[in-house]
A and B are shown apart, each in its own frame.
Chain A
Amino acid sequence: MKIDITKKLAQLKNDGRKVLGCFPLYPPLELFYAMDLVPVVLWGLRGTATDTTESDRHLQNYTCSVARHLTEFALSNGSGLLDGLFMYNACDTLRNLPEIIEKEWEKIGQALPLIKVHIPMVLPAQTDATAYFKNEINHLIKDLEERFDVLFSKDKFVQAVKQIKYVRDLMARAENRVTDGHLSFLNFVDAIHECWFSTVEEQIRILESLIDELSDEPAFSADKDSRHGVILSGILPPPTSVIHAIESSGLRIVGNDIASLGRSYASMPETREDPAAYFLDFYYQHFPCPTLLYTGDRRTTSLLGLVDKTGAKGVIFVGEKFCEYEYFEFPHLVQQLKDKGIQTLEIEIAIEDDAQTSAHDSRVSAFSEILKNNF
């Protein structure tokens, strides 16, 4: 991870921006931008602290590294860098974090607004959640107005939607450059990661520069066609050393089904003036993710579609240890892929793996050999 998140957030604060820490991964960003807030998605915080001492006072060691790093960040320096926290319903671990964080912040006299919204998880064909969700969004707007002394306007909302649409389009374009071999996956990951902690204007600048500055020569020009394409799937991209191992083992990352990457920018609803209608589309049309419970039936099709589109020969599942949402789906996905002749590799990333990934490197090399022998 190249960026210094603490420094980025401190800069935003120095610039007089109101920073809203958000989790989990798909908050209503457009609404926050429209209300002059800077939402930062508190994900991928590995590297913001050397250990999880603060978090370990509150979370057992069988919670995932995402929760532990998030808690560590929030408790060690989050209150001074954020103006508030936003969360919507997620997994069984994350739903308990707001109160833990809130209580600790209160103890140090830095109580910050904590805003919670319930995103309906019913299947659209089963229950019409439109009215419930509209009420949630209307409450959210009112809450934001009162707590941050800001105002909602439809014009600004539409403008923010257009900006985010452009950002997501740039992210997809950058991913295409990874697929065609012009951009290393690692550089792509670093750029997207930096975007999570930047204003929307800055995100546009980062992504435009990334794309514009690429040379016409593919990064893997010499052996591009001989490298087998693989897709990465998981909640977070793997640690840097594993990405290196993949790219140096003769494999090429041609696509991703990663929650913090592809799943977050793969779909873009139609522009609408009504935030409730817009976000209902946003959530219900979202690229399938195990955290969005109603997308389960579309998940296999989406992943197989990605494999077809990219011509990938293998899928590497990057399991976040203790993420039950992901792990319940792996056996089914693996079987479906195998039935189509697609090779799979499952690697598990635990919090202790930040420093030790040599075992993963060996498995990646072996997987690369299998692909070479099979295709």
Chain B
Amino acid sequence: MPEKLKTEKLKTNAGRHLSKMVGDTYMDLHAKSAQGAFVVWIAINVPAELFLGFENVVYGVPESHAALTAAKGVGVLQCEKAEHMGYSMDLCSYARIDIGSVSDGGKDSPTFGLPKPDLLVSDNNNCSLLVKWFDVHHRRMGVPHFVIDVPFCYEPQKDKDRKYIIQQFNDLIRTIEEMSGQKFDMDKALAAVSNTSEGIVHWKRFLSFAENRPSGITAFDSFVQMAPFLVARGTSQFVDHYKLLAQETEQRVRDGQFPVPGEKYRLFWDNIAPWHQLRDMSGSLAKLGANIVGATYTSCIGTVEGSFDFYAFDGDDPLEYCARTQNCYICPHGMNLRGKSMQAVVEKLNIDGIVFASNRSCKPYSVTQLDQQKLMTDQFGVPSVMIDVDHADARKYSKESTFTRLEALLENIEAKRAA
């Protein structure tokens, strides 16, 4: 069967829906901007639900746009533009892609870039360099920059910190009201947070099919399916999409359709997805009978520190919930909290080995990985390997070196089984 046909056959309804949803959302963003909407650029941790509390505020997420750019194969081109402007190759590749893309108005972007913002909102808990990155735009475009300061979590979030975050959310709302002339409606924000919470229920259900043997999903599927969190959070589409995804995955499992039918090794991934390698890496692993069935990167969504269990919205105060879940991604978690979450999910998914992807572009995710690796392998007896990647700069990735290590991990697993 021709390769193209085979791929088409494997495309799921949720996959098709995702492509359309993402494409439409970016086009809609441009259209609304052209029609006068107030445009905000945000870091991924900034609660997008707040913007749905306004009549006509739209948002774009440079990190998400950079990931999409890398996945579409033009990441390096955009990085090089930033490097020619003087930005070091050691800087985060998302930032370089974004700065490169903005430099010529999104010329080579798969989405024609993002519309020019009226306000930049960064958040320093996932990574504080985001503030410096957004400062680049702030200076070049002359656009105000609002910084949400979230204390790092060495232990579960404290009340004093949550109050401080809520105070800042209120200041952000006030700032947008003043700048846009629009009034914030708390009921609309509440509805948006409810939608997000409901959508995450379905997301978690989708991820739970990794518990099946063989797994009903690959982590690569889940990486791709994260996009709605960055383009449609808080909307009814968000709920519908994840409902479709979960239902369809359930049906496929029932029908005995598995992404890696001959699954011999169940692996777990720690770090951001290598966007430029998704298809190649998943295909090459499948040929070895290995499936990366889960990832810290996707498991953390909708959770709070120290656990990958869903943290539901109680329907009460949307700002309180948004503040409480500010640390839902991995990077704001201290090493001990990360270890606790990872240990639980590794047990739950019956993981044979862990792939720690040391990511040159993401120090917040990568620093402590050497200690995590020791913890998982020495203390909990799970074989693991450290590979070198960069989430969006393909020049910093070597397939040969990576697969030499991955194959060594599989041999290690085999040796452990034989013992």
Partner-B contacts on A (CB < 8 A):
57-60, 62-63, 67, 89, 91-93, 95-96, 98-100, 103, 116, 118, 120-123, 126-127, 129, 132, 135, 290, 293-294, 296, 319, 321-322, 324-325, 327-332, 334
Using known A-B contacts A99-B334, A118-B152, A127-B171, determine if residue A92 contacts B370 with beta carbons closer than 8 Å: no
Inter-subunit contact A331/B86 (CB<8 Å): yes
Inter-subunit contact B146/A126 (CB<8 Å): yes
Inter-subunit contact A293/B160 (CB<8 Å): no
Task: Report the minimum CB–CB distance from B134 to chain A (whole Å).
Answer: 10
Inter-subunit contact A322/B90 (CB<8 Å): yes
Q: Is B132 an interface residue (CB 8 A)?
A: yes
Against A, the Cβ 8 Å flags (1 = close, 0 = not) of B65-103 are 000000000000000000001111011100100000000
Most buried by B among A116, A294, A327: A327
Residue of A nearest to B171 (CB): A127
Inter-subunit contact A92/B363 (CB<8 Å): yes
Task: Report the minimum CB–CB distance from A233 to chain B (whole Å).
Answer: 15
B132 contact from A59, A89, A99, A328, Cβ within 8 A = A328
Inter-subunit contact A290/B132 (CB<8 Å): yes
A331 contact from B85, B147, B152, Cβ within 8 A = B85
B147 contact from A118, A294, A332, Cβ within 8 A = A294
CA distance A126 to B146 in the complex (A): 7
CA distance A118 to B358 in the complex (A): 27
Residue of A nearest to B152 (CB): A95
Task: Report the minimum CB–CB distance from B397 to chain A (whole Å).
Answer: 14
Q: Which residues of chain A have C-beta atoms less than 8 A from B358's C-beta?
A: 60
Q: Which residues of chain A have C-beta atoms less than 8 A from B360's C-beta?
A: 62
**Which residues, 352 to 370 on B, are CB-close (under 8 Å) to A?**
358, 360, 363-364, 366-370
Can you give 15 A-B contacts (C-beta < 8 A)? A60-B366, A60-B367, A60-B369, A96-B368, A99-B336, A99-B368, A103-B371, A122-B149, A126-B175, A127-B168, A319-B88, A324-B90, A327-B90, A328-B87, A328-B133
Inter-subunit contact A116/B129 (CB<8 Å): no
Q: Which residues of chain A have C-beta atoms less than 8 A from B88's C-beta?
A: 319, 327, 330
Given A92-B129, A98-B154, A127-B167, 20 other A-B contacts at CB below 8 A?
A57-B370, A60-B366, A91-B129, A92-B128, A92-B364, A96-B367, A100-B371, A121-B124, A121-B147, A123-B146, A126-B175, A293-B124, A293-B128, A293-B147, A296-B131, A322-B90, A324-B90, A324-B129, A325-B129, A328-B136
A93 contact from B160, B168, B335, B363, Cβ within 8 A = B363
Q: Is B191 an interface residue (CB 8 A)?
A: no
Using known A-B contacts A126-B147, A331-B85, A332-B136, determine if residue A132 contacts B160 with beta carbons closer than 8 Å: yes
CA distance A372 to B82 in the complex (A): 31
Q: Which residues of chain B have C-beta atoms less than 8 A from A334's C-beta?
A: 86
Inter-subunit contact B90/A332 (CB<8 Å): no
Residue of A nearest to B146 (CB): A126
Q: Is B211 an interface residue (CB 8 A)?
A: no
B171 contact from A103, A126, A330, Cβ within 8 A = A126
Residue of B nearest to A94 (CB): B367
Task: Report the minimum CB–CB distance from A296 to chain B (whole Å).
Answer: 5
Task: Report the minimum CB–CB distance from A98 to chain B (whole Å).
Answer: 7
CA distance A151 to B20 in the complex (A): 64
Inter-subunit contact B131/A63 (CB<8 Å): no
Shortest 3 CB-CB contacts between residues of A and residues of B: A331-B86, A328-B132, A92-B364
Residue of A nearest to B164 (CB): A132
Task: Report the minimum CB–CB distance from B368 to chain A (whole Å).
Answer: 5
CA distance A330 to B370 in the complex (A): 31
**Which residues, 218 to 249 on B, are CB-close (under 8 Å) to A?**
none
Residue of A nearest to B366 (CB): A60
Inter-subunit contact B91/A328 (CB<8 Å): yes
Q: Which residues of chain A have C-beta atoms less than 8 A from B135's C-beta?
A: 296, 328-329
Inter-subunit contact A122/B132 (CB<8 Å): no
CA distance A133 to B158 in the complex (A): 14
CA distance A319 to B91 in the complex (A): 13
Residue of B nearest to A300 (CB): B139
Q: Is B289 an interface residue (CB 8 A)?
A: no
Inter-subunit contact A327/B91 (CB<8 Å): yes
Task: Report the minimum CB–CB distance from A140 to chain B (whole Å).
Answer: 13
A120 contact from B92, B149, B331, B371, Cβ within 8 A = B149
CA distance A119 to B139 in the complex (A): 24
Against A, the Cβ 8 Å flags (1 = close, 0 = not) of B318-340 are 00000000000001001110000
CA distance A127 to B151 in the complex (A): 15
Task: Report the minimum CB–CB distance from B146 to chain A (whole Å).
Answer: 6
Q: Which residues of chain B have C-beta atoms less than 8 A from A321's C-beta?
A: 90
Task: Report the minimum CB–CB distance from B20 to chain A (whole Å).
Answer: 36
Q: Is B263 an interface residue (CB 8 A)?
A: no
Inter-subunit contact B152/A325 (CB<8 Å): no
Inter-subunit contact B168/A89 (CB<8 Å): no
Task: Report the minimum CB–CB distance from B356 to chain A (whole Å).
Answer: 11
CA distance A116 to B92 in the complex (A): 27
Q: Is B161 an interface residue (CB 8 A)?
A: yes
Using known A-B contacts A60-B367, A293-B124, determine if residue A328 contacts B129 with beta carbons closer than 8 Å: yes
CA distance A324 to B136 in the complex (A): 13
Using known A-B contacts A59-B367, A324-B91, determine if residue A89 contacts B152 with beta carbons closer than 8 Å: yes
CA distance A122 to B172 in the complex (A): 11
Inter-subunit contact B90/A122 (CB<8 Å): no
Q: Is B351 an interface residue (CB 8 A)?
A: no
**Which residues, 135 to 194 on B, are CB-close (under 8 Å) to A?**
135-136, 138-140, 146-149, 151-152, 154, 160-161, 163-164, 167-168, 171, 175
